[in-house]
Amino acid sequence: MRKRIDAMEKTVKEQGDSAAADRQKLLNEEKRLQDALDALNRAARKSGADLAVDLEKAQNDLAQIRGTLEVIGHRLDAAEAQNGERDKKIEANTQAIAQKQKEAQAAARPPDKTALYALGRQKLELGDEAGARQLFAEFVQRYKNDELAPNAQYWIGDSLYGEGRYNDAIVEFQKVIKDYKSSDKVPDALLKIGMSFQAQKDCKNALLFYEEVTQAHKGDPAAKTAKEKERECKKRTASKRK
């Protein structure tokens, strides 16, 4: 019996020791969890404070940026206003210069048609084709029925031919043929139309005008040149066929 009692007491003691050990483990685990929660709370409070500082700094930076943008905006408005005034002055000056140039050109124009035509010829000889054309065009416009008008019209086409503007030249030479049929410049205009086509390697059309010169204006000096040009075109055409 005593042995049984001792065994039971031993068992109870062992069970009590085990329970005490388990309780201690639970207490230790509870303490560990509490420490972890405290650490998390401290970290959260610290992060919140840091965020508040960063937010305040960002707001200050944004305020400074807005202030800077506002200053820049005022400066841009002022610059645009100044540019507007400058553009108005430039436009006014440009118009004034253009008016003065126009007045100067008008003042430089010869007072009579003979001098106007002579000045056009002079510019043409000096290589100022554009200036010559302007004077000849003015002559034709103002004195269309004058005996020098066909010549002026011819020189307009000739100046374009000299610049290699062959199609434009053909248009101007055609005006000589159309508007001044009885002029002695008609053979020259026909010849130059043919040469304009030939210069563009269009001998088919060039030959039509060379033949017109040689047949309708046999006694004109242009006919001799037309025959020479006609031979050149025919020779070139024959060489292409070989």
C-alpha closest to that of 121 among 145, 146, 98, 148:
148
Backbone angles phi and psi of 162, in degrees to 5: -65, -25
pLDDT band at 3 (very low <50, low <70, confident <90, very high): low
The answer as to CATH 1.25.40.10 being correct for domain 110-241 is yes
* Half-sphere exposure of residue 79: CA atoms within 13 angstroms, side-chain side: 6
Per-residue model confidence as pLDDT tens digits over 125-176: 999 999 999 999 999 999 999 999 999 999 999 999 999 999 999 999 999 9
User: At 109, phi and psi to the nearest 5?
Assistant: -65, 135
Query: In this structure, are residues 154 and 185 in contact, taking their beta carbons and an 8 Å threshold?
Result: yes
Contact 68, 60 (CB under 8 A): no
pLDDT in tens, 168-196: 999 999 999 999 999 999 999 999 999 99
pTM: 0.57
183 C-beta neighbours (distance < 10 Å), count: 18
Question: CA 72, CA 70: separation in Å to the nearest integer?
Answer: 5
> Average pLDDT over the chain, rounded to whole?
84
Going by the DSSP 8-state scheme, the letter that residue 242 receives in this structure is -
**What is the rounded distance in angstroms from the CA atom of residue 195 to the CA atom of residue 207?**
9
Residues 6+ apart with CB under 8 A from 13: none
Q: Which of 102-111, 118-127, 137-146 has the lowest mean pLDDT?
A: 102-111
User: Could you tell me the pLDDT band of residue 32, with boundaries at 50, 70 and 90?
Assistant: confident
